[in-house]
Structure 1
Amino acid sequence: MQLSSATRMLSAAIAEAERRGVIVCVSILDAAAWPVAFGRMDGVALGCIDVCNKKARTAALFQMDSADFAMIACPGGEAYSLEQTNGGLTSFGGGLAIRDGKGAVVGGIGVSGASTEDDIAIARVALAALS
């Protein structure tokens, strides 16, 4: 995950949040879940910082969107409480795996602060900025 790609995604995410009239935090991590870029809009709840990081971490480390991870880690799922591993993950939507042109996971993006539906949509717009 290159900084130039991450900042392009961050800009797209913030612009989409503004278009939707919501305030969010955005975290972009590399494939090893190390930070590459982060943005926090004015007025967002401070708890969203940790949440967006955990969404991105979940997507990067498990190479899947956090909403899909939720199906595995939920009560009755095949790996219930898996979100308690790896220094803390999250099992709800807003984290997306970032893939290169060949489909390999190169990182994760997490968005938090709006509704789960808006968080996911904002993250998808950010991913589309890579195309």
Structure 2
Amino acid sequence: MITAALAEAERMNVSVCISIVDAAAWPVAFMRMEGTILGAIDIANKKARTAVLFQMDSADFAEIAHPNAHAYTLENTNGGLISFGGGLVLKDAEGTVVGAIGVSGASTADDIAIATVASRVLIA
């Protein structure tokens, strides 16, 4: 998945951090591309943690955690979460959550696109 994410980021001409966690939110793999802003390290990790802890993509988490939603400030729990896109839940062929991937450093849309390409490796 890291290799696929790196290839897609290079194809898009962006630099990102890629974080992969297991189903318990423990780190499994991490990569920071040369030139990626340092702040993206923590954000990529939190995107992955948010996705797996709540079993929803971080973009969907944003729908319940914004100021007018029913769970505003939820991102302040669990040691800090992220309420914008770039974290995707990873499921096996049976639909069981096996982890998550978080990508940060480019635009939110690009982060999501890179994470999506990388997540397809798990399904293949």
- Smaller-chain TM-score range? over 0.9
1:128 & 1:105 partners in 2: Cα distance?
14
1:101 equivalent in alignment to 2:88: no
2:31 & 2:52 partners in 1: Cα distance?
18
CA-atom RMSD, angstroms?
0.5
2:102 & 2:66 partners in 1: Cα distance?
19
Identity %: 70
Shift of 1:21: 0.2
* Number of equivalent positions: 123
Residue 6 of structure 1 is matched in structure 2 by none
Q: Secondary structure at the match of 1:59?
A: helix
Shift of 1:78: 1.2
Choose from 107, 111, 128 the match for 2:103.
Answer: 111
1:27 & 1:47 partners in 2: Cα distance?
13
Task: Mark the runs of 5 or more structure 1 residues left unpaired by the alignment.
Answer: 1-8
1:70 equivalent in alignment to 2:62: yes
Residue 87 of structure 1 is matched in structure 2 by 79
Residue 3 of structure 1 is matched in structure 2 by none
Task: Mark the runs of 5 or more structure 2 residues left unpaired by the alignment.
Answer: none
TM value normalised by structure 2: 0.98
Q: Secondary structure at the match of 1:101?
A: coil
- Post-superposition Cα deviations, 1:74-99, rounded to whole Å, max 9, x if no partner, equal 01111001000001100000000000
1:43 & 1:76 partners in 2: Cα distance?
36
Shift of 1:129: 1.3
Q: Secondary structure at the match of 1:75?
A: coil
Residue 14 of structure 2 is matched in structure 1 by 22
